[in-house]
Chain A
Amino acid sequence: MNITIRGISKRFGDFTALHGLDLDVASGELLALLGPSGSGKTTLLRAIAGLEPIDGGRILFGDTDATRLSVQERRVGFVFQHYALFKHMTVLDNVTFGLRMRPRAQRPGSAEIRRRGLELLDLVQLGGLEGRYPTQLSGGQRQRVALARALAIEPRVLLLDEPFGALDAKVRKDLRRWLRQLHRDTGYTTIFVTHDQEEALELADRIVVMNRGRIEQIGSTDEVYDSPGTPFVFDFLGSPNVLPGEVRTDGIYLLGATAPIEAPNGFQPGPVDVYARPSDFRVVGEDAAAIDGQVMETQRTGVLVRLTVKLAANQQVVEIEIPHPDPEMKVWLSGDQIRLRPAHFSLYRDRPPQPANITEDRSADYAAPDSRVRGQ
């Protein structure tokens, strides 16, 4: 079922959790709400479920206006971060709870309820554990019981709040893969909340990046990762180096470079921030567009080597990652001179586009990064 969200807003006292958001979720989609804590992602999820009353806006499930529907009427499958399993019920009773709570007229017979419960437990690979109590299960198993319980009501949409947040790294990875498979098999429209960019990138079809109650960017995983729409999105999806650059008439120059790294791309001339991830730097030889630096520190991290480099032009310290050298490649030692060029990068300006007659004192309104140095 597709979900349409129009202008929903929510305030908690003086704090605005959601600033009139619009969002369209396609039927059968696996969507991630990604953001730091306090970004409003869980509030949005709970608002869709009807667990959080909203102050304004509309929520549509297909063509049905669900804004005024109660939680029960919305029929959403909600999986809580800490599972929220009924501790005093067996696994089977947990899973069949939704069926047993139906009005008598719509309730299947007890044999049928049991059959469906066992079927769901097989689906989440917990067959044979129906008689256990939640405390007798591992974290990953509990999460799967919670999922089976949510699926039992044949929900219009499946909502997962930080579904793997309380699990350890190994289990989390396995469960992610498994959930992806389950989604492919069952085809439920699924929205999940996470603050883990890796989880969002690995699991979702599309990602909604949220910040302070607003949507920063909506896009496929590739779009969001390769062309982050705002500095915030770039910052949240990896820890970028922010290099000072300048847009001139013939292209974009890095500070200290004598040739442009890219055509002007329609940017107005002036200073610009060049965002590049550590892994996006290339070590180059003679290249006029590259910048000079000195290796301060090297650190092996698995297949990669992380170099801490101090740039010659402005003494800025950047971190880059390069593949671990094979025997023919140069081994970098601290003190070595190095030339770098970002292969992929994004350009941002703190200031929004301004008319040409901008006055100088306005610039004080913008908190420019300390590292910014104007000119060449």
Chain B
Amino acid sequence: MTTPATPQTDTGGAIADTPFAPLVQTNAAIGEPRLVRWLLIGLTLLFLGVFLLLPLLAVFTQALASGVGAYFSAMVDPDALSSIRLTLLTAAIAVPLNTVFGVAAAWAITKFKFRGKGLLITLIDLPFSVSPVIAGLVFILIFGSRGWLGPWASEHGLKIIFAAPGIILATVFVTFPFVARELIPLMQAQGTDEEHAALTLGARGWSTFWHVTLPNIRWGLLYGVLLCNARAMGEFGAVSVVSGHVRGQTNTMPLQVEILYNDYQFAAAFAVASLLALLAFVTLGLKSFLEWRHGSELAAVRGH
């Protein structure tokens, strides 16, 4: 066996002999050490476990602590059923409204140039930056018995605050940004070339939206709608202020959970809570299913 012809100190020679070695050794940005990789993965899993999985598990164990019978009887309790109905009604109105508003706002912001665009973008974010409690109070100030429009509303027999309309209004306010926020960056990235192409080919505004814009944004839109829906069903703060907590009438599911909990009916509280959690699962499952079902189409859109 002979010693290598190139001395260790001759760096020029060493580089010439193994041209790629220095590159790989010094470029830590590409190859993380194994330890760092496992540490990061472990940390992420631990965090998810403690802060997401564990509470979820707790909800279901607590809900079923008094047996399956108690679980289901808690569900069919008239107050609980009423809260489920109100929650679904609220979401059924707030989500379509905000879908239309969100698409319109995103369309206006990304496809047109106009004065005050920056202000509009800021306003869209307002519900995110304002505490939900304040959002609720705003509606009390407007529609409450001493509010601006309250006397007018009661004259016409409209009950807004401490009733379903108030709850729906507060929910619409709080969930307004989800769809718009999801669509604006997407539509900005896509630009206006395809819409312009459609116009030159003779398509009118509505056809262009239906045949070109909507198919391009449908996945972003779906995602925004799902997030919006999740929040609409789960909103607590704003709804709590305007609801008045009338059992069996103006309680949504999150409010029902709180009331039951305050009444020491833990099993019932967690049963309703588990239903909310299930709704979240359905939401996520639906999203995954659609992505899987339309995967190739999705890839075609994203791959471009």
Contact = CB atoms under 8 A, between A and B. Distances in A.
A72 B198 CA distance: 9
A76 B202 CA distance: 9
B122 to A, nearest CB: 22
A97 B198 CA distance: 8
Given A80-B193, A82-B193, A101-B207, A87 B300 contact: yes
Nearest to A52: B196
A101 B202 contact: yes
B213 to A, nearest CB: 10
Given A87-B301, A88-B215, A76 B200 contact: yes
A135 interface: yes
B212 interface: yes
B203 A88 contact: no
Contacts of B199: 51, 71-72
Given A82-B193, A86-B194, A86-B212, A98 B201 contact: yes
A134 B194 contact: no
Given A80-B193, A86-B194, A88-B216, A135 B303 contact: yes
Contacts of A77: 200
Interface string B198-240: 1111111001000110011000000000000000000000000
Contact of A150 (B200, B212, B300): B200
B301 A78 contact: no
Contact of B200 (A71, A88, A134): A71
A45 to B, nearest CB: 11
Contacts of A78: 196-197, 200
Contacts of A332: none
A109 B297 CA distance: 28
Nearest to B197: A84
A59 to B, nearest CB: 15
Nearest to A88: B215
Interface string B130-161: 00000000000000000000000000000000
Q: How large, as a class, is the contact surface on chain B?
A: 20 to 34
Q: How large, as a class, is the contact surface on chain A?
A: 20 to 34
Given A88-B297, A133-B300, A49 B200 contact: yes
B195 to A, nearest CB: 9
A135 B198 contact: no
A97 B203 contact: yes
Q: Which among B194, B201, B215 has the greatest number of chain A C-beta atoms within 10 A?
A: B201
Nearest to B195: A84
A62 to B, nearest CB: 18
B34 interface: no
Contacts of A150: 200-201
A153 interface: yes
B304 interface: yes
A14 B199 CA distance: 28
Contacts of B300: 87-88, 133-136
Contacts of B301: 87-88
Contact of B198 (A49, A101, A133): A101
28 contacts: A51-B199, A51-B200, A71-B199, A72-B199, A72-B202, A72-B203, A72-B204, A75-B202, A76-B200, A78-B196, A78-B197, A78-B200, A84-B197, A86-B197, A86-B212, A86-B215, A87-B194, A88-B215, A88-B297, A97-B211, A98-B201, A98-B202, A101-B203, A135-B299, A135-B304, A136-B300, A150-B200, A152-B201
Given A87-B301, A135-B300, A153-B201, 17 more contacts: A49-B200, A51-B200, A71-B199, A72-B200, A72-B203, A78-B196, A84-B196, A84-B197, A86-B215, A87-B216, A87-B300, A88-B215, A97-B203, A101-B207, A146-B197, A149-B201, A153-B202
Please provide the 9 A-B residue pairs with the shortest distance between their CB atoms, ordered closest to farther: A98-B201, A84-B193, A84-B197, A78-B200, A101-B203, A88-B215, A71-B199, A87-B304, A101-B202
